[in-house]
Chain A
Amino acid sequence: MHELSICGSIADIVARRAAGRRVTKIHVQIGQLRQIVPDTLVYCWSMVSAETQFDGAELVVDRVPARIRCRDCEETTEVGDIPLLVCTACNGISVSVVSGEEFMVTSMDLAEV
């Protein structure tokens, strides 16, 4: 359960960028190849942010599916729930990851000043 410590990192980023303004929403992108459980992260955030300057700031998770590109047949395919790095078009295993490793704060909504 590293979601708690990750919330600390998110708070650091948001605090620096918000520069004292009230934050209403934080948009976070999580790739499918990340070991971060969105629901757990949102839950931890609500716990950690309560009674801080971020009380009430909602964490909104944008899931990014994992996609791989096959070097053999050059197809780009989406992986299933278990991220098997096997081309679903030709069963090739010489693949590169196109997306799914994202983990970032993309934007945030600030209240009117």
Chain B
Amino acid sequence: MGRFHRHDDGTEHEHDHAHDHDQGHDHGGDQASAAALGDHTGYATGGERIQVLERIFGENDRTAAQNRADFAANGICSINMMSSPGAGKTTLLRETLARIAGTVRTGVIEGDIETSLDADRLAGFGAAITLVNTGNGFGGECHLDAPMVRSALPRLPLADLDLVVIENVGNLVCPAEFDVGEYARAMVYSITEGEEKPLKYPVMFRSAQLVLINKIDLLPHLDYDLDAFRSNLRVVNPGVKTIEVSARTGEGVDTWCDWLQAQLTSFRPQAATV
């Protein structure tokens, strides 16, 4: 039944149905490569097989592109912050706002609400904060998608902002799959999660441009091997930048703020071309 076969592009896989590969077919790419789908006419059931070749995240990605365009049109650099639950995103964000909100006009899209206290923790720094309800629809509360972020945009004074930080839902699986229109992704990892995390969640670790190694203040108290973590990270995301931080003591937070400034700088010429 299942036929394991190799394609010209080097991919190989098994089909649980017999079909004719004489003319080859395309299992990758996008709709533009639609022409190459195989001849399935030999698969006669009286019905008809039609080719579709549509990316399942297509709708999300179109909305993400609109978000990205709206951010760019307003000169806003947007950062998607992702982590497991409790890694320290909100605490770090609070420390960040305390340092930069006076000079960088910052907005926060808060999608990780466990209690109403979470949003209160970010108040008082002059940043514009808006909450996203992730509870709607199927499988809510496990990630932000592009339409959820889009729904939050009218509640932010976009014309008056330089930076928007999106605090994603604490989850190492789903958020990696959903482009929300961000310019860059930063992941907050905490050393209390163990050294193996990159190997268990490689897709998430691979999707980040920066990995913050948080709760570094706990290093003397834990049996934790930072080098082992780094080599696990290196094999899933070679060359990714890392910063050791403690949102509790403030260690490394200035370096993270410098990284944010660097994103603002690298983003600007790109925004100007929109």
* CB<8 Å pairs between A and B, sample of 24: A2-B139, A4-B139, A9-B60, A12-B59, A17-B52, A28-B56, A33-B203, A35-B173, A35-B177, A35-B204, A60-B16, A63-B14, A64-B27, A83-B206, A84-B235, A93-B235, A99-B9, A102-B28, A103-B57, A104-B30, A104-B54, A110-B48, A110-B49, A112-B46
CB-CB < 8 A to A60: which residues of B? 16-17
In whole Å, how far is B98's beta carbon from the nearest beta carbon of chain A? 33
A4–B48 CB distance below 8 A: no
Report which of B45, B55, B206 forms a contact with A104, defined as CB distance below 8 A: B55
Docked complex: A3-39 residues within 8 A CB-CB of B: 3-10, 12-14, 17, 24, 27-29, 33-36
Residue of A nearest to B30 (CB): A104
CB-CB < 8 A to B49: which residues of A? 107-110
Q: Of the 9-residue stretches B71-79, B110-118, B182-190, B236-244, which lies at the interface with chain A?
A: B236-244
B206–A13 CB distance below 8 A: no
B238–A82 CB distance below 8 A: no
A9-B57, A76-B10 known; A105-B145 Cβ under 8 A:
no
A9-B59, A28-B56, A34-B177 known; A1-B142 Cβ under 8 A:
yes
CB-CB < 8 A to B17: which residues of A? 60
CB-CB < 8 A to A76: which residues of B? 10
CB-CB < 8 A to B177: which residues of A? 2, 34-36
Complex: A17 Cα to B58 Cα, angstroms: 14
A65–B53 CB distance below 8 A: no
CB-CB < 8 A to B173: which residues of A? 2, 35
CB-CB < 8 A to A27: which residues of B? 52
CB-CB < 8 A to B202: which residues of A? 33, 82-84
Task: Please give me the 4 A-B residue pairs with the lowest Cβ-Cβ distance, nearest first.
Answer: A4-B139, A93-B238, A2-B174, A4-B138
Q: Could you list which residues of chain B lie within 8 angstroms of chain A, going by C-beta atoms?
A: 9-17, 27-28, 30, 37, 40, 43, 45-60, 137-139, 142-143, 145, 173-174, 176-178, 199, 202-204, 206, 234-239
B50–A107 CB distance below 8 A: yes
A46-82 CB contact bits vs B (8 Å, 1 = yes)? 0010000000000010111101000000001000001
CB-CB < 8 A to B145: which residues of A? 5
Complex: A29 Cα to B73 Cα, angstroms: 35
A105–B50 CB distance below 8 A: no
Complex: A112 Cα to B195 Cα, angstroms: 55
Report which of A7, A24, A33, A67 forms a contact with B138, defined as CB distance below 8 A: A7
In whole Å, how far is A71's beta carbon from the nearest beta carbon of chain B? 11
A35-B204, A84-B236, A93-B235 known; A62-B56 Cβ under 8 A:
no
CB-CB < 8 A to B55: which residues of A? 103-104
